[in-house]
Amino acid sequence: MSMTINATSESFKAEVLDSEMPVVVDFWAAWCGPCRAVAPILDELSVQYVGKVKVVKVDTEAHPDIAMAYGVTSIPTMHFFKDGAVVKTLVGARPKATLQAQFDEVVGA
Amino acid sequence: MTEIRNVVIVGSGPSGYTAAIYAARAGLNPLVIAGSVTAGGALMNTTEVENFPGFVEGIQGPELMTTLQAQAEKFGAEVVFDDVTALDLSGAVKTVTTGEGKTHSTRSVILAMGSAYREIGIDDEKRLSGKGVSWCATCDGFFFRGQDVVVVGGGDSAMEEATFLTRFANKVTIVHRRDELRASKVMADRAKADPKIEFAWNSAVEGLDGADKLAGVRLRNLVTGEESLLPATGLFVAIGHDPRNELIKGVVDLDAAGYVVVQSGTTATNIPGVFASGDLVDSRYRQAITAAGSGCAAALDAQRWLEDQDDAEGAVR
């Protein structure tokens, strides 16, 4: 079960920048082991935080322009957006407890 | 009453999964705590593994690990994708607590947590992490198409990363502290023959340039003392690994470098019923096949130890 949304170069503005809710953007690629490892955790969190935090995935192979615009050179990178601006960045896969704490923070702040 | 297991295996690299295969086949019903984001271990971030016996054409690291996992599960090993947060190894019944808050009781434990990437240890490294500084060439090489990158290190990992990065990068410079490589001959020869790879010998990384993304690597020649700036947008750190001993520090005997000390010729630690294998123990060979071999030994040691305990209990009764 997952409530994640796949963003494209066309939909990124509407899904992320114009979102009323905080958004966690996961930059990933199919060849990246740690990305595959963290994906099910983000799936779970997308359900757990439904209505509070939106989880958006960007396939960096299909949409390198978005990755480039946000200076992503390592994946997975998770950018936390609020009102269209990056408020926090995590580089590398993290256990669920760590990610959940960051989700809580972005909801609370 | 909570179930008391025979053996819990902490870690899921070649060592952990091989221990699981053997323990499962011995009917010990092992539980593998595989790690939530580190499952499969170091090989998950590699490409082709050419030296694991039995694969004439080589095998992709992640594929090898999924295969080992499936093999362990086929014989009845239970695999949980969670992290161990606490270990109590003191009593006859040991406990293993995971990130989701579950506590597993077990008679024996096999420690196979492997190793973690070593950092250079300069401030700039953290500052520019994910902004040009990377620990995973297979993950991040794609972002450096047509650019100049640097690989630090002189071992097999550094050679593999450098060779892999030539698929994308314009130029790869290998920075190494000495004037000869520690890497195996086949890996070193391949790197040296590659027209895209250059070497900066006897050199150490002193600092990194770039405000919000990497622009250059400042080097110091360790022989002449001369300092230089190597323009680069990517820096891949492959200077070695350190054993992942955070959970067992102060409890299990470690050597000066932090590796678990085992009784010579076995996998037994200083604690009865606690065994250790793989990169957590091995500072010398550090290969997938040696890790697998010692994982096998750990399972056999645990099995024998459990049988001895059963015999002793029977004798008392």
Tens of pLDDT, residue by residue over B122-173, are 999 999 999 999 999 999 999 999 999 999 999 999 999 999 999 999 999 9
Test mutation, A44, A74, A78, chain B, max B CBs within 10 A? A74
Average pLDDT, chain B: 96
Please give the distance of CA B17 from its chain centroid, rounded to a whole number. Answer: 13
Does the structure show a pLDDT above 60 at A88?
Answer: yes
State whether residue B12 sits within 8 Å of chain A by CB: no
Q: What is the DSSP string of B117-169?
A: EPP---HHHHHTBTTTEES-HHHHGGGGTT-EEEEE-SSHHHHHHHHHHTTT-
Peptide bond into A34 cis (omega under 30): no
Selecting among B88, B136, B194, B209, the annotated active-site residue is B136
CA-wise closest residue to A71 among B210, B123, B260: B210
> Tokens 């994308």 label which residue?
B168
Q: What is the DSSP string of B22-48?
A: HHHHTT---EEE--SS-TTGGGGG--E
Q: Is A4 a catalytic residue?
A: no
Q: Which residues pair with B216 in a beta bridge?
A: B209, B231
CB spacing of B138 vs A75 below 8 angstroms: no
pLDDT confidence band for B100 (50 / 70 / 90): confident
Q: Is B139 a catalytic residue?
A: yes
Question: What interface predicted TM-score (ipTM) does this complex get?
Answer: 0.91
Q: How far apart are CA A4 and CA B272, in angstroms?
A: 47
Residue of B99, B110, B115, B39 lying closest to B287 (CA atoms):
B115
Q: What is the pLDDT of residue A41?
A: 96
pLDDT tens per residue, range B48-61: 899 999 999 999 99
d(CA A87, CA B220): 36
| The model's pTM | 0.90
The mean per-residue pLDDT over the stretch B251-279 comes to 97
Strands (E), B153-215: 171-175, 197-200, 203-209
- Inform me whether the C-beta atom of residue B136 falls under 8 Å from chain A C-beta atoms: yes
Is residue B66 less than 8 Å (CB to CB) from chain A? no
B151 contacts B158 by C-beta, under 8 angstroms = yes
- Residue pair B286/B241 in contact (Cβ under 8 Å)? The answer is yes
pLDDT reported for residue B46: 86
Q: Using pLDDT thresholds of 50, 70 and 90, give the confidence band for residue A108.
A: confident
Would you say B109 and B252 are in contact if contact means Cβ atoms under 8 Å apart? no
E strand segments, chain A: 5-6, 23-28, 54-59, 77-82, 85-91
